[in-house]
Amino acid sequence: MARKIARRQFLKYSALGTIGAAFSAVQGCSSFSLQNKRQKRPNIVMYISDDHGIDFVGCYGNKDVRTPNIDALAGDGMLFANVYAASPTCAPSRSVLWTGLYPAHNGCMKNHTICRPDITALPTYLGQVGYRVVLVHKYHAKPRKEVFNFEHIQAGLPRKPKHHRKYRREGLNPKDVDKFLAELPKEQPETPLCLIVADSSPHVTWEPNKIYDPAKLQLPPFIVDTKLTRKAMANYYQDITTMDKRVGEVRSMLKKYGFEDNTLFIYTSDQGSEWPHSKWTLYDAGIRVPFIAVWPGKIKPASVCDAMISFVDITPTFIDIAGGHRPKGSDGKSFLNVLFGKAKTFRKCIYASHTADGNMNVFPQRCVRDIRYKYILNLEPERTWTTHFTKVAGIPESHKQVWDTWVEKAGTDPQAAKIVDINQKHPPEELYDTQADTYELNNIADKPENRPILLKMRENLKKWLADQGETMPDSLF
């Protein structure tokens, strides 16, 4: 499986897209007056999935998974190769996304915890400049009343009680999106819309596979190849393909109700997949996410952007598009010039943190990554790592059932043993050359020739930690 995006493969998928008609609209970075309704401000629609890793999208190089609707987005707009979540779990990642603040600044450092009640988030920022801000389905950000005061539409598919947790029917119900768009107030056509469509797929439990041959799937090298692994991966792919269909349905609805032209449409995910070495970690498989933006007449179709973007930059960019100003104290900044093709670079590096997930995944990490190297600091290296995937039983063809087959194979297979070992043991410092080692499987922190790079990256992270109100413990070195 190719981690880097092949231009030839991207061009193949770009043919699936259709270039929207050009339109006359106010530039996102221009100022405006709420009293001046002559210029129609752009709508913003973001479709955010749950646990969709960048390695599992057709237009990002996966030749097995079927994602025709997401691939069509890449043909119609700009595919971003280097967008990073600031945390690899749901609540911290989404809290960063909607506030423009890193976890230490917004207060949501652990999963399933709440932000500080005295901060401001996207609904208020855009509401202040006249936008209607609506979130459909998955919330996973608190407190709602004080901070994340989205207009909320619960649009989940019903569970099947007979199946209990075995295979429950989860995900977004597109019919609720259609109903909302159809009922938008006709008397306020000038009110711009920010619509967040938050799917809960492909989070576990995964849909039973119907279309994939498990034996033919090409597995990424951080996955141990067992029969049960392949069966689970086929289920994951099935869930992705079903979710991809909903992406296409939502786009069709936007077109039906006249939202296609004057609208920025973004597809992304909150973090990486729920596999080992991915979610709950700061490896690229955990924090590097698919991100595709379509805006007819504004964003060049079939384009690829290599600029480094962080999730802290999303809210400032949306505010910029809406005509507002960057909030004081924001950790992020607008990348509107990147969207418009006026700039090819943005950040020199990105930062991310993982603190815990309640009583699970309690293995704090911090990292800094530039375009080539990544430095990870493990704050509790003495622990043997466990995650939901290694400990949680009862999810069929997933999690502990699969992990146990990895451990069994590790007893006789050196490569399997290596993968199990790097998932369980983490030294104080990790350093990776992501150009030579795209899946971050070979830690080069202890190589003498890499000492200058290590010290430079360590110092960079130390300064960022200080800005976050944290300190780098010297006892680890």
Based on the domain organization, do 292 and 397 belong to the same domain?
A: no
Give the mean pLDDT of the chain. 89
Where is the domain boundary, 289, 315, 347? 347
SS (H, E, C) the chain: CCCCCCHHHHHHHHCCCCCCCCCCCCCCCCCCCCCCCCCCCCEEEEEEECCCCHHHCHHHCCCCCCCHHHHHHHHHCEEEEEEECCCCCHHHHHHHHHHCCCHHHHCCCECCCCCCCCCCCHHHHHHCCCCEEEEEECCCCCCCCCCCCCEEECCECCCCHHHCCCCCCCCECHHHHHHHHHCCCCCCCCCCEEEEEECCCCCCCCCCCCCCCHHHCCCCCCCCCCHHHHHHHHHHHHHHHHHHHHHHHHHHHHHHCCCCCCEEEEEEECCCCCCCCECECCCHHHHEEEEEEECCCCCCCCEEEEEEEEHHHHHHHHHHHHCCCCCCCCCCCCCHHHHCCCCCCCECEEEEEECEECCECCCCEEEEEECCEEEEEECCCCCCCCCHHHHCCCCCCCCHHHHHHHHHHHCCCHHHHHHHHHHHCCCCEEEEECCCCCCCCCCCCCCHHHHHHHHHHHHHHHHHHHHCCCCCCHHHC
pLDDT digit string, tens, across residues 18-76: 333 322 232 333 333 333 333 589 999 999 999 999 999 999 999 999 999 999 999 99
The domain that holds 441 is classified in CATH as 3.30.1120
The domain that holds 241 is classified in CATH as 3.40.720.10
Based on the domain organization, do 376 and 269 belong to the same domain?
A: no
Q: How confident is the model at residue 155 (pLDDT cuts 50, 70, 90)?
A: confident
| Residue 158 forms part of a structural domain | yes
Based on the domain organization, do 315 and 245 belong to the same domain?
A: yes
pTM as predicted: 0.91
Mean pLDDT of 93-102: 96
Mean pLDDT of 345-372: 93
Mean pLDDT of 402-415: 98
Answer yes or no: is pLDDT of 197 > 90: yes
Give the residue, 405 or 476, on which the prediction is more confident.
Answer: 405
What's the rounded Cα separation, in Å, for the pair 31 and 442? Answer: 49
Mean pLDDT of 227-233: 98
Based on the domain organization, do 343 and 380 belong to the same domain?
A: no
Based on the domain organization, do 298 and 341 belong to the same domain?
A: yes
Based on the domain organization, do 311 and 442 belong to the same domain?
A: no
Residue 34 has a pLDDT of: 35
Answer yes or no: is pLDDT of 235 > 60: yes
Based on the domain organization, do 213 and 66 belong to the same domain?
A: yes
Based on the domain organization, do 286 and 183 belong to the same domain?
A: yes
Its domain, for residue 433, covers 365-476
pLDDT over 70, % of the chain: 88
Based on the domain organization, do 246 and 111 belong to the same domain?
A: yes
Residue 74 has a pLDDT of: 99
| Residue 27 forms part of a structural domain | no
| Residue 175 forms part of a structural domain | yes
Where is the domain boundary, 293, 316, 347? 347
Based on the domain organization, do 333 and 236 belong to the same domain?
A: yes
Based on the domain organization, do 126 and 224 belong to the same domain?
A: yes
Based on the domain organization, do 158 and 223 belong to the same domain?
A: yes
Q: How confident is the model at residue 171 (pLDDT cuts 50, 70, 90)?
A: confident
Residue 412 has a pLDDT of: 98
| Residue 393 forms part of a structural domain | yes
| Residue 133 forms part of a structural domain | yes
Where is the domain boundary, 316, 347, 378? 347
| Total number of domains in the chain | 2
